[in-house]
């Protein structure tokens, strides 16, 4: 009887699956061979994550993690332009304006998903082909393997919209070599193609048009271990010669990045950039001057503290920050200027770094008691 029951469960599971693979669904969840495959399917929105997608992906990862017949999890995006361009910022903005619960639910759901990926016992392979920003980084960077292509564009552009590089940015960014993570977080600098690998964000680099073949080979692996998966990814990686000769775009600036972005405060970083006076430093200064002063201060502290925290501690801290931003001014103003009116001239409040008090920053990091994120 048990066997019959198990068979029924399997059939139900398959029925559930086939229902979910209807191509109008915003996320497709399917099982092929020993692989669980997550396909982000909002190509018109560059596969931006919304709450219903998050609520489908999370339990599915948990199910596959427990399933002895699932050996690895693959995540990818449709449409050829983006893996995932971020979280559904517009929906959050609308919710925040009217005090809707979505401003809690979205971040709770998203950070729990980031944690599920970061702690997943099954090998997790993210095919980060195309635009990979914000929330898209959150559903890829915490997994075991991240495969970039010549089309990959990575960025954490949150300081430009009055937010901070969340989704565990406080965990992975300060762990990149030197001060690259601080530089990427504060300036929103974009990395392209092989540079995403060289910065330590991707683990492998494969030609975009080879991804379907790679996926097929991953699915065909017989009860694969992490080592077998790594070997397969390495073999594709070794064969890819695109931009092999090209130097890492940040190479010539690394010494400056490491010294200029190692200051203890935003004011000090700005002072160092001014004193340096090189074209590179001036360009960074110009960029930083456009960002939300509040976001810059929150971000610098987030990374400095996150450097010695576990992923879970970081996500708890980031949830506190997310709720502080939802109560503030700059997030709504940033989204208005960058995404809605697109006039690109946000009026930040406060408008200068000096006006963002330490007391205000401290308050953003304070525990929320019963409302803290539970992982």
Mean pLDDT of the chain: 95
Query: For residue 61, what are its two tokens?
Result: 């990862």
Catalytic residue among 130, 135, 136, 193: 135
Annotated catalytic residue within 88, 158, 195, 330: 158
Residue 200 has pLDDT above 50, yes or no: yes
pLDDT digits (tens, 9 = 90+) for 49-90: 999 999 999 999 999 999 999 999 999 999 999 999 999 999
Q: Give, for 153, the enclosing helix (H) or strand (E).
A: strand 153-155
Q: Give the three-class secondary structure for 322.
A: helix
135 belongs to the catalytic site = yes
Query: Domains in the chain, please, with CATH?
Result: 27-371 (3.90.226.10)
The residue-averaged pLDDT of 238-264 equals: 96
pLDDT score at 24:
80
Residue 9 pLDDT greater than 70, yes or no: no
Helix, strand, coil shares of the chain, percent, nearest 5, are: 55, 10, 35
Is 243 noted as a catalytic residue in this protein?
no
Q: How confident is the model at residue 48 (pLDDT cuts 50, 70, 90)?
A: very high
pLDDT per residue as tens digits for the range 135-194: 999 999 999 999 999 999 999 999 999 999 999 999 999 999 999 999 999 999 999 999
Least confident of 19-33, 56-70, 112-126, 220-234: 19-33
Strand order of the β-sheet with 124-128 is: 27-32, 35-40, 72-77, 124-128, 145-148, 204-205
Catalytic residue among 34, 36, 77, 87: 87
The tally of CA atoms less than 13 A away on the side-chain side of residue 253 is 21
Among residues 129, 166, 318, 330, the one annotated as catalytic is 166
């Amino acid at each position: 009887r048990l066997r019959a029951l198990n068979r029924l469960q399997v059939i139900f599971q398959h029925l559930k699956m086939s229902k979910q693979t209807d191509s109008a669904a915003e996320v497709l969840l399917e099982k092929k061979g020993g692989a669980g495959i997550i396909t982000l399917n909002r190509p018109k929105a560059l596969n931006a994550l919304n709450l219903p997608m998050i609520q489908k992906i999370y339990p599915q990862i948990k199910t596959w993690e427990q399933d002895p017949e699932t050996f690895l999890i693959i995540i990818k995006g449709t449409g050829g332009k983006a893996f995932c361009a971020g979280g559904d910022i517009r929906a959050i903005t609308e919710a925040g304006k009217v005090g809707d619960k979505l401003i809690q639910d979205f971040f709770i759901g998203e950070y729990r998903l980031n944690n599920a990926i970061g702690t997943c016992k099954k090998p997790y392979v993210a095919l980060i082909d195309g635009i990979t920003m914000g929330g898209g980084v959150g559903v890829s960077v915490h997994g075991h393997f991240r495969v970039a292509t010549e089309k990959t564009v990575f960025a954490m552009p949150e300081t430009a919209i009055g937010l901070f590089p969340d989704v565990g940015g406080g965990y992975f960014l300060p762990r990149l070599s030197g001060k690259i993570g601080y530089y990427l977080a504060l300036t929103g600098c974009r990395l392209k193609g092989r540079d995403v690998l060289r910065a330590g964000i991707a683990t492998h680099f494969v030609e975009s048009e080879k991804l379907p073949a790679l996926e097929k080979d991953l699915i065909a692996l017989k009860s694969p271990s992490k080592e077998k998966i790594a070997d397969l990814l390495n073999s594709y990686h070794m064969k890819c010669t695109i931009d092999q000769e090209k130097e890492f775009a940040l190479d010539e600036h690394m010494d400056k990045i490491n010294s200029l972005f190692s200051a203890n405060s935003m004011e000090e970083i700005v002072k160092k950039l001014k004193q340096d006076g090189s074209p590179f430093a001036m360009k960074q200064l110009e960029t930083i001057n456009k960002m939300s002063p509040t976001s810059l201060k929150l971000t610098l502290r987030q990374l400095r503290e996150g450097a010695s925290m576990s992923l879970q501690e970081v996500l708890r801290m980031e949830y506190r920050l997310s709720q502080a931003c939802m109560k503030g001014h700059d997030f709504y103003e940033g989204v208005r200027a960058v995404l809605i009116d697109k006039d690109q001239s946000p009026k930040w409040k406060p408008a200068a770094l000096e006006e963002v008090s330490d007391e205000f920053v401290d308050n953003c990091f304070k525990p929320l008691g019963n409302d803290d994120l539970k992982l």
